[in-house]
Amino acid sequence: MSLNKVMLVGRTTKDLKKLITPSGHPVVHFSLAVDRNYINKEGNRETDFIPIVAWNRLAEILEQYAVKGTLIAVVGRLQTRRYTDSKGKNVRILEVVAEQISLLARPKSGDNIKALPITTVVEEKAEPVEETNFVDEDFEEITIEDLENLFSA
């Protein structure tokens, strides 16, 4: 038996933009800022920036309602993905594939924010990422610092 389930609550780190894959599937890639319960020596909570991918209806809802700072809950699964970047470097990414989202609260500032259906829950069976042919050799591990740089506003 195996289990792959992730539950996160955090704030989006930027306005979300939906992309359409070549096969016509809507997708949104974003990071979720999730505070740790741990308080460091300076008295501050540390934050993890978790990469999330949402497909189809979830992507459309997130693009429509989630702006930078929106508090959302994500339930999904952890997956690794590999690709070769534009410089020919092999990259491996660890991300959460959203299966259910709950829009919990809009950001604290800004009068121009679209009406957000508070505590709206949307669930959808996650679509698999399109298969690609690759050889699993000499992949460089991506660090937390690389992820923070990749998803920073």
Mean pLDDT of 82-97: 90
Q: Say if CB 74 and CB 100 are below 8 A apart.
A: yes
For residue 146, the model assigns a pLDDT of 58
Q: In sequence order, what are the residues at sequence separation of 6 or more whose Cβ sits closer than 8 angstroms to the Cβ of residue 43?
A: none
For residue 138, the model assigns a pLDDT of 44
pLDDT in tens, 94-107: 999 999 998 888 77
For residue 109, the model assigns a pLDDT of 59
- By the 10 Å C-beta count (0-12 exposed, 13-18 middle, 19+ buried), 33 is classed as middle
pLDDT in tens, 9-66: 999 999 888 899 898 999 999 999 999 988 888 988 889 999 999 999 999 999 988 8
Q: Which of 14, 96, 25 has the alpha carbon at shortest distance from 60?
A: 25
Q: What is the mean pLDDT of the chain?
A: 79
d(CA 4, CA 128): 15
Per-residue b/e over 48-81, b at no fewer than 16 CB within 10 Å? ebbbbbbbeebbebbbebbbebbbbbbbbeebee
Q: Say if CB 50 and CB 31 are below 8 A apart.
A: yes
* DSSP3 helix / strand / coil % (the chain, rounded to 5): 10, 45, 45
Q: Which of 25, 8, 3, 6 has the alpha carbon at shortest distance from 102?
A: 8
Residues in the chain: 153
